[in-house]
Amino acid sequence: MVTTESRSISKGSDLLAQSDLRQSNVLSVYEKARAINIEKNNARLRALGLISANEERKSNASAWGLEEKSSNIKRKPSSRPPSEGCRKSRRLLKLSSEISENVVTGGNEEERQEGIEKEREVIVKECREARQRAAMEVAKLGVESAARENPTATYEHCLMRIRSMTKKGLINRVRSIERGAGKHCVVKMAIFKSCLQDENMWELAKLASEALERLKGLQSPP
């Protein structure tokens, strides 16, 4: 019989096998157990609409030591000196950008910002739709029980708190959830992160996301 843990190990092994860096990504028993915890938590949070597909993919890759490295593409210097008075902007000359394949990490500041905004819109839209689809399945996944035991685990309550708290208070709340590391801390932190994204508080959402990654490695889904 194939267990969930066996499937998770197999999935991680497949990722490692596909990596060019697999020789340098030999994981210890502890690291494998941590990666399995993260994958299980990610699957649950994705089903609840608390993380996007892209967030899940990046988190799983990081857990198995396969972080995507942003490519720093450098332009080759031209062997020909530019003629005097000639415009050097590729955009003004209506030429394609040499780094257009990576809008977020390449191009000019305007392109990078536009890429970031689009990525954020996708995350929020996808998570909202997933939460709607999951609404009828919440009881099966155990979140109703979590909400009864700890009301702060509900999305609506979290949104209400965020709208009434100062920035300092929000930062302290992230730290408090992480320090407490209770049974439902992963779901609570994911809800908090998602609410911050909904409220367009991306700097604080990043702080919560980083804390969430640390908690996912320590806690198995309840």
- Per-residue pLDDT reduced to its tens digit, 73-129: 444 555 555 545 444 444 444 444 433 344 455 568 888 888 888 889 888 888 888
* 141's tokens: 């996944």
Mean pLDDT of 147-158: 63
- In a 13 Å sphere around the CA of 64, the CA atoms on its Cβ side amount to 24
* 84's tokens: 């005097």
**If pLDDT is split at 50, 70 and 90, which confidence band does 140 have?**
low
Nearest to 38 by CA among 1, 17, 11: 11
Q: d(Cα 31, Cα 29) in Å, to the nearest integer?
A: 6
CB–CB of 184/150 below 8 Å? yes
152 pLDDT more than 60: no
Q: Cβ neighbours of residue 37 under 8 Å, at least 6 residues apart?
A: 216, 217, 218, 219, 220
Q: d(Cα 106, Cα 113) in Å, to the nearest integer?
A: 10
Q: What is the pTM of this model?
A: 0.64
**If pLDDT is split at 50, 70 and 90, which confidence band does 143 have?**
low
DSSP 8-state symbol, 82 = P
DSSP 8-state symbol, 142 = T
- In this prediction, residue 130 carries a pLDDT of 79
DSSP 8-state symbol, 166 = -
Nearest to 142 by CA among 207, 220, 70, 82: 220
- In this prediction, residue 203 carries a pLDDT of 96
168 pLDDT more than 90: yes
Mean pLDDT of 159-174: 94
pLDDT digits (tens, 9 = 90+) for 45-76: 988 888 999 999 999 999 998 865 444 444 45
Q: d(Cα 46, Cα 169) in Å, to the nearest integer?
A: 27
pLDDT digits (tens, 9 = 90+) for 191-205: 999 999 999 999 999
Nearest to 35 by CA among 54, 57, 9: 9
- In this prediction, residue 127 carries a pLDDT of 87
Q: Is the pLDDT higher at 211 or at 112? A: 211
- In this prediction, residue 107 carries a pLDDT of 63
Burial (Cβ within 10 Å: 0-12, 13-18, ≥19) of residue 89:
exposed
pLDDT digits (tens, 9 = 90+) for 21-43: 333 458 889 999 999 999 999 99
Nearest to 119 by CA among 102, 104, 97: 104
